[in-house]
């Protein structure tokens, strides 16, 4: 059809976005079910359904009418509000991207991911990389091809990075990671010669049932509204949101590890606060939800590390820890607990890494992804390369693939180019903190009293409420000015120098 008025076109744009939101909701719930409640041998029927829903999304977005609609709105740009312009821009981006992907490839990919999710879980359990390799191969091939569809003018891996963080590329990431290594590696060396922190009590027996109560408590301290945010259990923790009134986080309980789930809950809780804090007006539009993975991780890792691993926060929650785990906490005081949750020690598992070595885990993945996409590394050599890089960057020996290259769900979920946003998000944090303290003065007295409301309100006002209205770089810069990783390296140096008396 041809449009005769802006109002008519905006109605069509709204309808398109609402419909897309509904399909995404349906697919999101299918994924949530698959990872939380579904019996293990049920992926086949879900694959059928995903195939049909993906086709629906594809058909919806690629309808010839949309090209006309977008062209009409772009031609009437001056009649649109800033929000309408940004919606048009976001839908245009999706339209252009998907338009370049042949329907069959698009649908096959969603089915592939449904299968891969299932195969990866089994392969991880069985420490059987061979079983997962053909799926990873297909996922890499698809991503390489999709990169060309997304942005034929960029190097393929840059095009993928750009999917998770607009504007990100290896040209900026290479020196960023190099600068981090220059800070982290010498710090780690000094720490190696300093007296070691005892964290053995964190590995006593912590029954899952008690950890569940602890999760509820942590969400309460974070001020998460449970009437709009649920928690479930999955192999790999994640956050998903259907709108700003319906957010779910997940965690995984290990009974020999108190802090794994504790910091998962705080991390995912940070994602959840971002989604819950978005203004209502963005619901059911292309601007709903966090704007990028980098900004998202800046929120989750802000809560996890800058708040969650602070002396003040540990002071606030330690009485509850002692109440819930009286036996396990025998002989442990607040300071010991604070030091233990901050122990820096090269290790195998990214999600359980301390704040200092975390980025080194990301660098391993970054190197491997770059090489997989540019073709210089074969899928079958991933386990070997993984081990090499862990030896080189972290100085640890990887005993198996279960605790090695099969540990993360990202690749089986189709996310290649996602990992670097964790490092970027981590690095955003200290710069946000500096700005927050300039604005609010002391925040730590409140945190030590278990009151995060000032912190969260500041973040909500500056970041959360805007959802995807601003582009990530612009959003960060309007809050903090240009990004400078020095805030992050200074923060790490100061924290770990103090902690270990270096």
If the CB atoms of residues 51 and 385 are measured against its own copies, the closer one turns out to be 51
Cβ 266 to its own copies shortest distance, Å: 19
Instruction: Please report which helix (H) or strand (E) contains residue 22, including its range.
Output: helix 6-36
Rg of the chain over Cα atoms, rounded to whole angstroms, equals 23
Residue numbers at the binding site for its own copies (CB under 8 A)? 18-19, 21-23, 25-27, 29-30, 32-33, 36-42, 44-46, 48-49, 51-53, 56, 209, 226-230, 232, 242-243, 245-246, 248, 283-284
Nearer to its own copies among residue 40 and residue 327 (C-beta): 40
Closest distance of CB 340 from its own copies, Å: 30
Least separation in angstroms between CB 44 and its own copies = 6
| Closest approach of its own copies to the CB of residue 248, in Å | 7
Euclidean distance between CA atoms 42 and 118, whole angstroms: 9
CB of 176 to its own copies, least distance (A): 37
Which one, 26 or 133, has the nearer CB to its own copies? 26
For residue 409, the minimal CB distance to its own copies (Å) is 19
- DSSP code for 165: S
Q: Has 275 been annotated as catalytic?
A: no
Q: Give the separation between CA 130 and CA 262, rounded to whole angstroms.
A: 33
- Enter the DSSP assignment of 41: T
Name the burial class of residue 306, with classes exposed (0-12), middle (13-18) and buried (19+) by CB atoms within 10 angstroms of its CB. buried
Between 51 and 339, name the residue whose CB sits nearer to its own copies: 51
Q: Torsions phi, psi of 262, nearest 5? A: -55, -50
**CA distances from residue 194 to 102, 187, 345 in whole angstroms, order as listed:** 57, 11, 12
- SS3 of 229, please? strand
DSSP labels, 113-147 = HHHHHHHHHHHHHHT-HHHHHHHHHHHHHHHHHHH
Measured between alpha carbons, how far is 54 from 104 in angstroms, rounded to an integer? 10
C-alpha closest to that of 501 among 193, 161, 117, 78? 193
Give 165 or 275: the residue with its C-beta nearer to its own copies. Answer: 275
* C-beta separation of 186 from 171 below 8 A: no
| From 163, 165, 268, 275, the catalytic residue | 268
Residue number with CB closer to its own copies (37 or 178): 37
**Which residues are annotated as catalytic?**
268
């Amino acid at each position: 059809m041809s449009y005769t008025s802006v109002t008519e076109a905006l109605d069509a744009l709204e309808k398109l976005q609402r419909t897309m939101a509904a399909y995404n909701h349906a697919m999101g719930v299918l994924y949530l079910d698959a990872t939380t409640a579904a019996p293990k041998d049920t992926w086949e029927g879900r694959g059928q359904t995903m195939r049909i829903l993906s086709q629906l999304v594809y058909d919806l977005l690629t309808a010839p009418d949309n090209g006309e609609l977008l062209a009409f709105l772009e031609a009437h740009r001056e009649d649109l509000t800033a929000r309408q312009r940004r919606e048009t821009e976001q839908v245009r981006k999706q339209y252009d991207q998907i338009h370049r992907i042949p329907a069959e490839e698009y649908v096959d990919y969603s089915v592939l991911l449904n299968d891969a999710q299932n195969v990866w879980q089994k392969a991880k359990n069985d420490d059987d990389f061979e079983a997962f390799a053909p799926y990873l191969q297909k996922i890499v091939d698809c991503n390489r091809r999709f990169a060309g569809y997304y942005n034929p003018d960029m190097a393929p891996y840059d095009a993928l990075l750009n999917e998770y963080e607009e504007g990100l590329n290896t040209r900026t990431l290479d020196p960023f990671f190099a600068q981090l290594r220059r800070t982290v590696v010498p710090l780690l060396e000094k720490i190696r010669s300093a007296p070691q922190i005892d964290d053995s009590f964190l590995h006593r027996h912590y029954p899952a049932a008690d950890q569940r109560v602890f999760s509820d408590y942590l969400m309460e301290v974070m001020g998460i509204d449970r009437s709009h945010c649920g928690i479930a259990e999955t192999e790999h923790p994640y956050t998903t949101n259907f709108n700003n009134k319906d957010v779910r986080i997940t965690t995984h309980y290990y009974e020999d590890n108190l802090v794994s789930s504790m910091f998962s809950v705080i991390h995912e809780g940070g994602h959840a606060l971002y989604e819950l804090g978005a203004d209502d007006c963005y619901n059911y539009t292309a601007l709903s939800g966090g704007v990028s993975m980098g900004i998202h991780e800046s929120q989750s890792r802000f809560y996890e590390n800058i708040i969650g691993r602070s002396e003040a926060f540990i002071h606030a929650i330690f009485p509850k820890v002692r109440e819930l785990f009286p036996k396990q906490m025998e002989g442990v005081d607040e300071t010991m607990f604070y030091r233990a949750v901050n122990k820096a020690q090269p290790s195998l598992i990214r999600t359980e890494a301390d704040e200092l070595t975390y980025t080194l885990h990301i660098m391993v993945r970054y190197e491997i992804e770059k090489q997989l996409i540019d073709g210089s590394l074969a899928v079958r050599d991933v386990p070997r390369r993984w081990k090499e890089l862990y030896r080189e960057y972290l100085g640890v020996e990887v005993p198996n693939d279960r605790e090695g290259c099969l540990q993360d769900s990202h690749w089986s979920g189709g996310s290649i180019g996602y990992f670097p946003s964790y490092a970027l998000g981590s690095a955003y944090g200290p710069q946000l903190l500096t700005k927050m303290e300039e604005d609010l003065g002391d925040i730590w007295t409140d945190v030590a009293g278990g009151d995060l409301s000032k912190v969260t309100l500041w973040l909500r006002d500056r970041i959360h409420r805007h959802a995807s209205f601003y582009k990530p770089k612009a959003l960060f810069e309007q809050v903090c000015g240009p990004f400078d990783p020095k805030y992050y390296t200074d923060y790490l140096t100061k924290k770990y120098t103090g902690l270990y008396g270096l």
